[in-house]
Amino acid sequence: MAAVNSDLPWVSGSETINSLHLTYKAAQQITETLWVSERDEELKSFCASLMAYFNMIKRSLSILDDTSVSGVDSSLITLLLAPIKLMFPATCFRGPAKDRLRELVRLGENIGRTQSGFTNLTNIALVDLTKTYESREELLKSLAMCEETLRDSYLEDLSRWATEDFAPQLVIAELPYGISNAAQSMFEAMVACTDCPCKTEHDFGARLYLGTHRKPEATLRAEDEEIIDFDMFLSTQYDWQEVRVHASRNKVVQIVTGPASNSQSKRKHTGAKALKIKRLCETIAKIKSMTAYRLELKVLRNELFQLQPEICNSTIDTSQNAVSLEYILRHRKGSFTERTKRILAVILASTVFHLYDTPWLQSTWGSPDILFFRTSSSAILFRPFINTPLSSLHPPVAEAPTNPPSSDDIPKDTDSDDPDLEDFFTHPCPNVITLALVLLEVYFETPLDILAQKFNVKLGTNTQPSAFTRYMDANLVFQACKAEIPQNSQFYLALTNCLDQKVWQSEGDMLDTLTLRTTIYQKVILPLETELSQAYSSIPIEELDKFAQDLDFGRWGQFNNNHTPHRGSHSSVMNAQGSTSLDHPHSSPVPDYPADGPSNRSNLSDPRLDMQDYPHSAYTVGIICALPLELRAVRALFDTEHNGHTKMKGDSNTYALGTMGQHMIVAACLPSGEYGTNAAADAASNMRRTYHELEFCLLVGIGGGAPSPEIDIRLGDVVVSLPTSRSSGVIQYDRGKECEGNTFQLTGSLQGPPKCLRTAISALCSKPDHCSNSLRPYLEDIVRSIPCSPTSDYSHPGQENDHLFKAACSNCFALRDCIDAESHVQRRARRPTDQPEVHYGLIASGNRVLKDAVARDRWAKEHGILCFEMEAAGVMNTLPCLVIRGICDYADSYKNKRWQNYAAATAASYAKLLLRHTASSSIEWNTARIGYKNSLCIYTNGEEPKAKRQRA
């Protein structure tokens, strides 16, 4: 117990567990204080993980009763102290090291008593979160071991708890129950005014803002509890009109737009003048010319009236494309943080609670129908809307679930005339199943079809999915991926409840409406709110709608207002100006969204082909390749591709433009037949002249590996240039001077990679789940995107085709037949998988092709070279650059092209993986449209159209 006593000097016996409980409580309070003040998203997410573990361990320690304490030995105490020592080393405290736990507990008590955030930050000033983050793998592993040991070894006596105690513990009022009736009444009132002679010329659509509709108690007391506010947009075809709806819990509905001041509210209630509306389309058409005003309406006795328009101060720019949740998941992975995931989960579950069995929630709803609007600066507001056509007062009858037969009604023997499988196993609440599917998509940031592929699940192939097939698909996917969701989490509980048929039945019968909504809240929403509150206790659940509206989770550059997609294009980016619903079975002013997987990039209807014009200055990352096969692999990983640009006079490059994550990419290939440092330097110089806002460049392609006994480099592996104490990461091995004794001395120096890329590499390497499999999804994307042919096969050639020869035989070296060739192959252990490894170190660059194993080994031994290539030395001093090379040969006389395509794919895959861990520029671009109309103009004076730059 000596080691234990040194850390717990003031406790003994049963007090030990209590002291540890106080220690972990203090750790949770300190971490929460760090979380509140932290601005870096990765550190903030790290804090959230720590808070969750500290909370679970604290709770486990609190339930150990006196009989359990007597069995606690020193090994458990040592285990529990290990993460505390990692998180709070002796340097965090000014006093002696032996008193650190006592100081830690005292600090936690001070934080609990102090309301001042500045004072709390001062108290924990010595806690270095950045340093802790460096050892996060060890820390999180230690915490997981502690939590698992306490959970498995010291089981809680369940008899001490009542049944209701097992519900999520969150003291919060339930959601308001009157929203559904108000939403139904609002829909009916608007549909009644859409019947007009010109209906064949337009469609009515609505986008309803989704929220929890919670309000703080003080706000509720000050407002009329019978009035419910809805925000929405109405449209006939191309024009979206912002509207605010004040709906009564009874059948009286009042529709206005924009925030209503006290004076406005009083005026409306005292009988303001109103004009009865017969045709809603005419009212919208008249207000369309008054761009600065909102249309105000009210509904009285099921008739629609127009009030005086009010000035609009909304930040939403309806001229820009709204973006669907499905599009974000499919093409903008990484847009969500753990916080926004949890918030969106609560909002979506609340949507089902409020809109279940109303026309607002169509039977086919899903992630393509959840939309996010942009602001004028192209920021994506975290305000979800649901798209609904104003064409039907009731959901389709086909979606109505049937009551499962009771056990007494099921005969022992059935024949072919009996009800089919769906009659017995259909989930009673199809919209709850859809909610479960969307929650899974949000959790994994992946559309359902891709998620199913990832976990080798074969989805139903019906052309018209039914409630039954969606239920079966949801079950299959959840069972396949549930191992990656913590089973003790409230999110896991919510998903399990969604998919459990018994939860949504009462003795085999469907639940009545009130009981159904109560069940949705207690079994789904409350667990999700609990998870959000546990991870981010500073977020007020009662004000979640207001909190979410201030979030911005996407700045994707400026979009061309004149852009209209092709009639047949499949796109989940909503066109606010040119989309109509006349061609779709469920009419609405927005197109349908397919759920099919990624399509061939040669297809012009590819959703990732973004035919937009962006300013030159929007592109901040350059990629240079030496060979077309290298650039092809890079372009296969573009999330979107953009229109080509005009170029500076004298620029001979041809550019490919697109995005990877949050980065705007410009890529170029060297001229056919030209190689070496000079051609690369010319390409980099031209790229910088035309795209003058480039922050750094990635040199992506193939190279020759230099394996050694210390570093086992194989074909297909990736080598990344990284500085050492003696070099910047790249050396020019053909530049130097001959010295006495037949020695060669290197001369000159090259710039190293920029700090932002080096810190991104550190962040990538420090991830606990980082492994060679990290490149696998990108490699699969390349293989899937590029049609396979004898000259364009980007799949792995097989380890049996990876031969490293000894540099000893002159016959082999001279490429003559050698009877002992088999004995000259170096024997190496077969790797357990075909996944490439990533190596960091020195890369040698020069204007000559190295095909000499002896020279290769000499350079590797003397300078620590891992790879040889021919372009980097020409780029490093022109642009801040990082070199990424896939190994296609061993720089010896046995060069062949079998591995070139796969090596190019692994290099491109690492480039995209690295960019996902590299922070994008914080600059927003608002392009001046004047002078930007003619995309074929050549700027002979060396200038481009002016672009306004605004810092975020």
Q: What is the pLDDT of residues 557-598, one digit of tens each?
A: 333 333 333 333 333 444 333 333 323 333 333 323 233 333
3-class state of residue 340 by DSSP: helix
Give pLDDT, residue 600.
35
List helix spans (H) across 586-627.
none
Cβ contact 503:523 at 8 Å: yes
Q: Are strands 322-324 and 573-574 parallel, antiparallel or unpaired?
A: antiparallel
Residue with tokens 């790249």: 730
What percent of the chain stands above pLDDT 90? Answer: 17
Give the pLDDT confidence score for residue 566 in this predicted structure. 33
690 within 8 A of 873, measured Cβ to Cβ = no
Q: Domains plus CATH for the chain? A: 2-166 (no CATH), 173-396+424-600 (no CATH), 616-795+804-925 (3.40.50.1580)
Phi-psi region of 885 (alpha: psi -120 to 50; beta: other; left: phi over 0): beta
User: Residues 713-747: pLDDT tens digits?
Assistant: 999 999 999 988 778 889 888 775 556 655 656 65
839 pLDDT exceeds 90?
yes
Tokens of 224: 């009329």
Residue 807: what pLDDT?
Answer: 66
Residue 908, pLDDT score: 97
Query: What was the pLDDT predicted at 580?
Result: 31
Most confident of 56-60, 133-137, 800-804, 934-938: 800-804
> How far is CA 394 from its chain centroid?
35
What integer is the mean pLDDT of 450-468?
76
Q: Is the pLDDT of residue 107 over 80?
A: no
Per-residue pLDDT tens over the stretch 117-160: 444 444 455 566 677 777 878 888 888 888 878 776 665 554 54
Indicate the residue type of 688: R
User: CB-based contacts of 397: which residues, under 8 Å, 6+ apart?
Assistant: none
Task: Say if residues 274 and 263 touch (Cβ distance below 8 Å).
Answer: no
Most confident of 9-23, 589-603, 740-754, 872-886: 872-886
User: What is the structure's pLDDT at 290?
Assistant: 72
Is the confidence at residue 903, as pLDDT, over 90?
yes
Non-local (6+) Cβ contacts of 811 within 8 A are 817, 818
Q: What pLDDT score does 266 carry? A: 39
Using CA atoms, how far apart are residues 238 and 246, in angstroms rounded to an integer?
25
In the structure, what pLDDT confidence band is assigned to residue 370 with cuts at 50, 70 and 90? very high
Q: How many Å apart are CA 666 and CA 383, to the nearest integer?
A: 31
For residues 96 and 491, the model is more confident at 491
Question: What is the DSSP secondary structure assignment for residue 388, as one 8-state letter?
Answer: E
Q: What is the pLDDT of residue 202?
A: 59
More confident residue, 217 or 68: 217
The pLDDT > 70 percentage for the chain reads 66
Do 685 and 847 meet the contact criterion of CB atoms below 8 Å apart?
no
Question: How high does pLDDT run on average in the chain?
Answer: 73
Tell me which residue of 79, 78, 80, 102 sits closest to 90, measured CA to CA: 102
Measured between alpha carbons, how far is 622 from 696 in angstroms, rounded to an integer? 6
Higher per-residue pLDDT: 68 or 84: 84
**Structure confidence by residue, pLDDT tens digits, 686-717:** 999 889 889 999 999 999 999 988 899 999 99
Strand partners, 658: 641, 665
DSSP string, 361-412: S-TT-SGGGEEEEEBTT-EEEEEEEEEEETT-SS--GGGPPPPPPPGGGS-S
Q: What is the pLDDT of residue 351?
A: 92
Query: Do β-strands 240-248 and 227-235 pair in parallel, antiparallel, or remain unpaired?
Result: antiparallel
Query: Predicted confidence band at 4 (pLDDT cuts at 50, 70, 90)?
Result: very low
- CB-based burial, 902-939: b 16+ in 10 Å, e otherwise: bbbbbbbbbbbbbbbbbebbeebbebeeeebeeeeeee
Residue 654 has pLDDT above 80, yes or no: yes
- Reported as a pLDDT band with limits 50, 70 and 90, residue 35 is confident
Give the strand pairing for 379-389 and 552-555: antiparallel
Mean pLDDT check: name the lowest of 358-362, 590-594, 694-698, 920-924: 590-594
Choice among 5-14, 53-62, 840-849 with the minimum mean pLDDT: 5-14
Cα–Cα distance measured from residue 26 to residue 61, given in angstroms and rounded to the nearest whole number = 13
Across 157-166, 193-202, 499-508, the highest mean pLDDT is recorded for: 499-508
